[in-house]
Amino acid sequence: MRKQNVSGAVIRRLPRYYRHLNELNQAGVVRISSSALGKSMGLTASQIRQDLSCFGEFGQQGYGYNVDNLLNEIVDILGMNRGHTAVILGVGNLGRALIENFNFGWSGFHLNAAFDVRPEVVGQIMAGTPIFHIDQLENYLREHPASVGVLTVPRSIAEEMADRLVKSGVKGIWNFTNTELNIREEGIFIENVHFSDSLQTLSYLISEDA
């Protein structure tokens, strides 16, 4: 049974568990010890056991973890088997790249639709995803509720678009606009993606090592 108040650090390690277990499963590995799993992930065995204990007891002493079973447990914990859906707002370079190249299904989401204002893209079907005019957003979400809205719009309209998503029942926002959204409503979750943060972190690391 899932415990309350799981730390953010543990939650952010769960996708890493999924990736590693998925690779092990595809390689035909049947079972793995906490020490072996920790070594492959750069964690200690005790950290592995502590993280997983937040959600239940999955391993057996002297046996370790059944890879397939633990993978399915992680899928369930992450909610990847709950039929989540997404829509993208903004079909510029980044929006188009996500539609054409990002595997939403691998993360447990189905990309239902995208929205834009430009006549040259509205009405198209891009990599199986229909593109509608942004004026149709509310009507579309009324008939096809979405779990997450992906924001790849200009910064100047990010807040407005986020508000429209929230008012239409969207609970999660994947924000690529490089601006902080001022949304404080209960039950609304925002994941901000700043590409520059990762590059600047690398800048620090290579500068310190020089």
95 assigned to a ligand binding site: yes
Phi and psi dihedrals of 170, rounded to 5? -75, 130
State the angle between helix axes of 34-41 and 45-53 in degrees (0 to 180), rounded to the nearest 10. 100
* Contact (CB, 8 A) for 101 and 118: no
Length of the chain: 210
42 assigned to a ligand binding site: no
Q: List C-alpha distances in Å: 101 to 4, 104, 117, 161, 204.
A: 36, 9, 22, 23, 30
Question: Which residue, chain included where needed, has tokens 């049947």?
Answer: 30
Distance CA 186, CA 188 (A): 6
90 assigned to a ligand binding site: yes
122 assigned to a ligand binding site: no
8 assigned to a ligand binding site: no
**Binding residue ranges:** 90-95
**Binding residue ranges for NAD(+):** 90-95
